[in-house]
Amino acid sequence: MIRLQKFLSEAGVCSRRAAEQLIIEGRVAVNGRRITTLGTKVSPLEDRVTVDGAEVKARRKLYIALYKPRDVVCTRKDPQGRPTVLDFLPPEMQHVYPVGRLDYDSEGLILLTSDGELCNHITHPSSGVDKVYYVEVQGAIKKETISKMLKGIYHEGDFLRASAVKILRTNNTRTCLTITLREGKNREIRRILDSLDQIVLVLRRVQVGSVKLDKLALGKWRLLTKTEIQFLLNA
């Protein structure tokens, strides 16, 4: 059972706030009975919901992994006219929305879904869903720099900290490493490395929870498996 306004929003009728207004105006009916109160709950599989007499069908919930290129925004629409993550999906999947964000100038894995509860669950700091990034910085990186990343720093009023750092290879010109974040504040990795005088050459998110980028091509997408979805729900 879910709230009526949430059902209308997930079915693509309108936003949840607009759905509340439709209910208040008496334009929504459940099993032939007009509803004007916002506390009403419905079963998407059992109840018949109409708006202005037209039946509303429940949409299948979608869970998508997309390899976001650089210079693409993680929003449904952009007032500046820049490409968005939805531009890479077919028309029948335009009702999904991004789970969290990935910097405009960064590339990598972004999840999209039509399941609002899962989205809120993953993005909440208490969820424990790790985000893993592949990073290349200029020059060799010192051990004390890694220690500071793990201990955490303060930057513009935010406490920023990596939960894990692993050096993959390093030389005098470049260091390749993976950095794991638990919360993922705005531009967190870039802010940490910039504060420690590290120049970022490559930044790519390669994993969210159990979902990995793997061999997914740039700008391409795939549906999550049932196992991946269940892991995210249980995280």
Catalytic residue among 87, 103, 130, 158: 103
- Give the mean pLDDT of 196-215: 96
Instruction: Select from 16, 39, 56 the last residue of a domain.
Output: 56
Q: With the C-alpha atoms ordered 9, 13, 18, 24, is the resulting torsion angle positive or negative?
A: negative
Q: State mean pLDDT over 101-114.
A: 94
Supply the pLDDT for residue 69: 97
Q: Is 103 a catalytic residue?
A: yes
- DSSP, collapsed to helix, strand or coil, labels residue 120 as helix
According to the model, what pLDDT value does residue 199 have?
Answer: 97
- Residue 19: domain span: 2-56
Strands 200-208 and 107-113: parallel
Identify the pLDDT of residue 121. 81
The structure tokens listed for 5 are: 């306004």
- CATH number assigned to the domain comprising residue 104: 3.30.70.580
Residue 220 token pair? 């391409």
Banded pLDDT at 115 (limits 50, 70, 90): confident
CA–CA distance, 44 with 21 (Å, rounded to integer): 20
Q: List all residues 6 or more positions away from 111 whose beta carbon is below 8 Å from its beta carbon.
A: 63, 64, 65, 66, 98, 99, 100, 122, 208, 211, 224
| Averaged pLDDT for residues 32-36 | 96
What residues are paired with 158 via a beta bridge? Answer: 155
Q: Same structural domain for residues 143 and 172?
A: yes
Q: Where are the beta strands (DSSP E) in the chain?
A: 2-3, 28-30, 33-35, 41-42, 49-51, 54-56, 63-68, 97-98, 107-113, 131-138, 153-155, 158-160, 164-170, 174-181, 200-208, 211-212, 221-223
Q: Do both 101 and 137 map to the same domain?
A: no
DSSP class of residue 90 equals -
Q: How many domains does the chain have?
A: 3
**Cβ neighbours of residue 231 under 8 Å, at least 6 residues apart?**
209, 210
114 pLDDT above the threshold of 90: no
Q: Which two tokens stand for residue 157?
A: 């009023």
pLDDT tens for each residue of 137-170:
999 999 999 999 999 999 999 999 999 999 999 9
Q: Average pLDDT of the chain?
A: 92
Residues 120, 72 within the same domain: yes
H-helix segments, the chain: 4-10, 16-24, 116-123, 143-151, 188-195, 226-234
Q: Could you tell me if 222 and 117 lie in one domain? A: yes
201/136 same-domain check: yes
The CATH number of the domain holding residue 36 is 3.10.290.10
